[in-house]
Amino acid sequence: MNRPLAERMRPQYLDDYVGQQHLVGKGSVLRKMIDSGSVPSFILWGPPGVGKTTLARIISQQLDIPFFTLSAISSGVKDVREVIDKAKSTAFFDSKRPILFIDEIHRFSKSQQDSLLAAVENGTITLIGATTENPSFEVISPLLSRCQVYVLKSLSADDLLILLHKALAADVELKNKKIEVQETAALLRFSGGDARKLLNILELVVEADENNESPDAPVIITDAKVIDRLQENPVAYDKGGEMHYDIISAFIKSIRGSDPDGAIYWLARMVAGGEDPKFIARRLVISAAEDIGLANPNALLLANACFDALTKIGWPEGRIILAETTIYLATSPKSNSAYMAIENATAEVGRSGNLPVPLHLRNAPTQLMKNLNYSKGYKYAHDYEKNYVAQDYLPEEIKDKKFWIAQDNTQEKKIQEWMSRLHSTQ
């Protein structure tokens, strides 16, 4: 059976690698290390299909270093120890340390990660981990402290177009076919910055055309044709099982849209697909703050409790905790006023820069600072009625700016009424 197009197009050398120029472009940090022949342990963090595994293999090949690989999904502590023993047996006084590549390292348990520590610390192996999750949450601190983290980005439209044209011109099967790409918008949209998805969609469209028309007929690729093929076979472009981000997106959007049935369905899809329950719980915490926010502050408390309970209860009962929290969030009133407030304030910081802190708000722990009028004129709110006194808390240049705007829900109306009454007393 022929290998998938995405596998056939996997680059073998750094010069053929597309994207991530901030890491592998001329003068970049990883390029310099590879050119020097000395690569320390590191973790590659980024979304699916951006070249994490490919980059690890290229480094091994270009430096002519033995390469061992484990998948965190199917490997245990015993497998880790066996690979480390093999790495030791290949080591000689003048040889380079073997690379141990661990895909989806965020799925490794604490004990599995602990089993790597000594080998990384004493130089038995060079560890390269790949993860789609924030390593600071999923990788134990002792291991994280021994590894540099490099962030890979979703591929840009230009990167994807380069890959598309490379596949059409260089792939052993596609280059002999009459393929005309008339439109690329749908290809790029459904790929979502993922090289594997792009190539899988391209392969699907070409194969579907060949099955319906004569072998000599040209394959015309249009947006309509791509959409039609994906509607017929919605998972075909996800041959690597990378529906992770699509489903979590549908899950969060169902919660945001106050549809408990949609939310619980997508939760069930993730549970059935073996998704990491902590990944789901973290997204619920984010949704509680971003989408429910001040309209129901208890949502964040429940989402946090959900995360904590999952670590105590485990699986499969943990799915009930996730379901309860999901339904609660989906049926809660919604507000993104806190999210918009920090966005507005951050945008103002970007526009106005580092404005000085007003003197009356500055701390004055020394006599010199007092002589310079630090803290002079500050009014201590608790000395006044209702624990409030009117004074400016923003820099002079933006003292009238409003970043938080109450939204139309019961809770925030109460907050706004209280603030209005408070401010009217001065």
**Is residue 216 predicted with pLDDT exceeding 80?**
no
> Span 157-238: which CATH code?
1.10.8
Once rounded to an integer, what is the mean pLDDT over residues 161-165?
A: 92
Q: Which two tokens stand for residue 426?
A: 């001065």
On average, the pLDDT of the chain sits at: 83
Helices (H), 93-216: 110-121, 135-138, 141-144, 157-170, 185-191, 195-212
Residue 95 — pLDDT band, cuts 50, 70, 90?
low
Q: What percentage of residues in the chain have a pLDDT greater than 90?
A: 16
Per residue in 44-74, pLDDT (tens digit) is 998 888 889 999 999 988 888 888 888 777 7
CA neighbor of 258 nearest in space, from 323, 306, 329: 329
Average pLDDT over residues 75-89: 80
The residue that leads in pLDDT, 212 or 186, is 186
Residue 68 — φ and ψ, nearest 5°? -115, 145
> What pLDDT was estimated at residue 211?
54
Calculated CA dihedral for residues 403, 381, 294, 136, nearest 10 degrees: 80
Domain(s) labelled CATH 1.20.272.10 in the chain stretch across 244-331
- Give yes or no for residue 154 having a pLDDT over 60: yes
Using the CB atoms, write b or e for 310-320: b if 16+ within 10 Å.
Answer: beeeeeeebbe
Residue 316's pLDDT is 78
CB atoms within 10 A of CB 213: 11
Mean predicted confidence (pLDDT) in 155-165: 91
> 42-45 and 126-131 as β-strands: parallel, antiparallel, unpaired?
parallel
Give CA 375 to chain center in angstroms.
Answer: 42
Stretch(es) of the chain classified as CATH 1.10.3710: 360-424
Strands 148-151 and 67-71: unpaired
CATH of domain 360-424: 1.10.3710
Mean pLDDT computed over 129-143: 85
Per-residue pLDDT reduced to its tens digit, 382-399: 878 888 888 887 888 888
Region 322-332: what's the mean pLDDT?
93
- b/e per residue 230-256 (b: at least 16 CB within 10 A): beeeeebbbbeebbbbbbbebbbebbb
In the chain, ranges of CATH 3.40.50.300 domains:
20-151
pLDDT of residue 240: 40
DSSP bridge pairs for 102: 70, 129
Strands 67-71 and 42-45: unpaired
Among 58-62, 167-171, 213-217, 262-266, name the one with the lowest average pLDDT.
213-217
Q: Is 95 or 341 the better-scoring residue by pLDDT?
A: 341
User: What is the C-alpha separation between 254 and 189, in angstroms, rounded?
Assistant: 21
Residues 279-308 have pLDDT tens digits of 899 999 999 999 998 889 999 999 999 999
Which pTM does this prediction carry? 0.57
Q: What pLDDT score does 286 carry?
A: 93
Residues 6+ apart with CB under 8 A from 138: 105, 106, 131
Name the CATH code of domain 244-331 (choices 3.40.630.30, 3.40.640.10, 1.20.272.10, 1.10.10.10).
1.20.272.10
Tell me the pLDDT tens digit for each residue of 230-267. Answer: 766 555 444 444 456 678 888 999 999 888 898 998 89
CB 179 within 8 A of CB 168: yes
Instruction: In whole angstroms, give the CA distance from residue 338 to residue 288.
Output: 11
CATH: 3.30.830.10, 3.40.1350.10, 3.40.50.300, 2.40.50.140. Which one for 20-151? Answer: 3.40.50.300
Is residue 98 over pLDDT 80? yes
- List every span in the chain annotated with CATH 1.10.8: 157-238
Asked if 404 and 373 touch (Cβ cutoff 8 Å), the reply is no
Cβ–Cβ under 8 Å, residues 244 and 132: yes
- Dist. CA 330–CA 291, nearest whole Å: 10
